[in-house]
Amino acid sequence: MMLRMICFALFFALLPLNAVDSLPRISDTPKSEDQPVLTHDPACPVLKASEPGSETKPMEIPVVQTEKKEVLPEVAAPASAKVESDPVTPKVGLESVVIPEETPHFVGARYYEKKSGGWGWIKKPEESWKQARWVAVQESPRKFHVPHRQLKNAEQDHEFQYKLLGSFADYQIYDPVRDELLDVFVIAGYESLGAQKSIERKPGPPGRFTSKKSGAYTRRNSVQFEEDGF
């Protein structure tokens, strides 16, 4: 009997502690400085990435901001259907311009490849095409676009060459249709050099020919992602 009483006493003594400490809820308020809450809007904590070597140590995760706040005007879905009107197609911010030779630039050879997010090869003017990188081109909506946005179809400038302004990004991008990673060139302007003779290279990033595939896409057994199949 005594034993049971002790158990019940322990149970009721510990229960509130658990309920408060291990179950942060939306209505909780931050209790100390070691539970940081971001002060900018919207007030919800951003998760942290692991620091190198700290994978096994639990990271401190801030509790969610709790106070109710005035909410700015809501962008609601139309009541009738989940469709928004598309923004008016923006005008191209920078059409083909003349890029003087003395201006630092790259040279690009467009290669249209069906079912691929690759744009073509890009190299420095003094490099050979063997040194060129197969890239996807990152645009800046309403500012800088790939040349073929001005054309009817994306393949219309196949094997055109361009002088290009811009830079290589420090990250790669994933092509979900081909299940491969591509280098990224961030475009900031171009000058068309017109149609040129073919580049004697197979299209695609080096990994297409050398890396072990994930197994989700192989050219050999023709298991392919459905185009636009997301």
Partner 1 sequence: MRRFILVLACFFLSLEAREWIILSGGPAIRFYEAGKERSHDKHWGNFIDSAVVRIKELRPQLAEGDQITWLVYRPGYQSRGEEINGDLLTNILKRANQEGVALFWFDTQDQLINYLNNGKDRSTNKIHHFDYFGHSNKACLLFDYSNVMDSMSKNYLHTMNFKKIKKDIFTPDAVCQSWGCHSGEYYSGKWKTHFGVPMIGAIGKTDYSRLHSLPFLSSDKGQWAQ
Question: Is there binding between residue 126 and partner 1 (CB under 8 A)?
Answer: no
Q: What is the 3-state secondary structure (H, E, C) of 92-150?
A: CCCCCCCCCCCCCCEEEEECCCCCCCCCEEEECCCCCHHHCEEEEEECECCCECCHHHH
| One residue of 57, 91, 114, 220 binding partner 1 per CB under 8 A | 57
Q: Checking DSSP bridges between strand 133-138 and strand 120-123, what pairing results, if any?
A: antiparallel
Pattern of binders to partner 1 over 69-88, x per CB under 8 A?
--xxxxx-x---xxxx-xx-
**Residues 162 and 147 sit within 8 Å (Cβ to Cβ):** yes
Which phi and psi (to 5°) does residue 210 adopt?
A: -115, -30
**Residues 189 and 108 sit within 8 Å (Cβ to Cβ):** no
| One residue of 37, 64, 188, 193 binding partner 1 per CB under 8 A | 64
Say how far residue 179 (Cα) sits from the centre of its chain: 14
| One residue of 18, 210, 221, 222 binding partner 1 per CB under 8 A | 18
**Closest distance to partner 1 from the beta carbon of 102 (Å):** 30
Question: Is there binding between residue 59 and partner 1 (CB under 8 A)?
Answer: yes
| One residue of 63, 92, 94, 193 binding partner 1 per CB under 8 A | 63
Question: Is there binding between residue 47 and partner 1 (CB under 8 A)?
Answer: yes
**According to CB under 8 A, which residues from 168 to 197 bind partner 1?**
171, 173-177, 179, 182, 184
| One residue of 9, 20, 43, 195 binding partner 1 per CB under 8 A | 43
User: CA-CA distance, 117 to 54, in Å (whole number)?
Assistant: 36
If one counts every other C-beta atom within 10 angstroms of the C-beta of residue 163, the result is 21
| Residue numbers at the binding site for partner 1 (CB under 8 A) | 3, 6-7, 10-11, 14, 18, 22-27, 41-50, 55, 57-59, 61, 63-64, 68, 71-75, 77, 81-84, 86-87, 89-90, 117, 136-139, 141-142, 171, 173-177, 179, 182, 184, 214-217, 225-226, 228-230
